[in-house]
């Protein structure tokens, strides 16, 4: 399922993928930590990224507004 999602992101022209998760698990898909890329309020040890090109990701990541929805 993860590989399918990454394939779809690439097909849509995405430059990469960032997520919050277990480093040991997501490493098998190529995700790793990039000190230049942060998500405020998220511990850096669980914030990972997978660039789809050679460019090193940097900056501050903000999740889509939909992730802030509450019931």
**pLDDT one-digit tens code per residue, 12-41:** 999 999 999 999 999 999 999 999 999 988
Largest CA distance in the chain: 40
Write out the H or E segment, with its range, that includes residue 37: strand 37-38
- Structural domain including 49 reads 2-68
CATH number for the domain harbouring residue 29: 3.40.630.30
Provide the pLDDT for residue 70: 67
pLDDT over 70 (residue 69) = no
Neighbours of 23 (CB within 10 A): 13
Q: How many domains does the chain have?
A: 1
Provide the pLDDT for residue 67: 77
Which pairs count as long-range contacts for 37-45, CB under 8 Å and 24+ apart, including other chains? 37/61, 39/63
**Do 27 and 50 touch, CB atoms closer than 8 A?**
no
pLDDT class of 68 with cuts at 50, 70, 90: confident
């Amino acid at each position: 399922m993860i590989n399918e999602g990454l394939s779809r992101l690439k097909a849509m022209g995405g430059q990469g993928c960032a997520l919050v998760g277990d480093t040991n698990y997501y490493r098998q898909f190529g995700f790793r930590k990039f000190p230049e890329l942060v998500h405020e309020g998220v511990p850096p040890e669980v914030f990972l990224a997978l660039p789809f090109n050679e460019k090193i990701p940097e900056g501050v990541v903000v999740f889509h507004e939909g992730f802030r929805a509450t019931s």
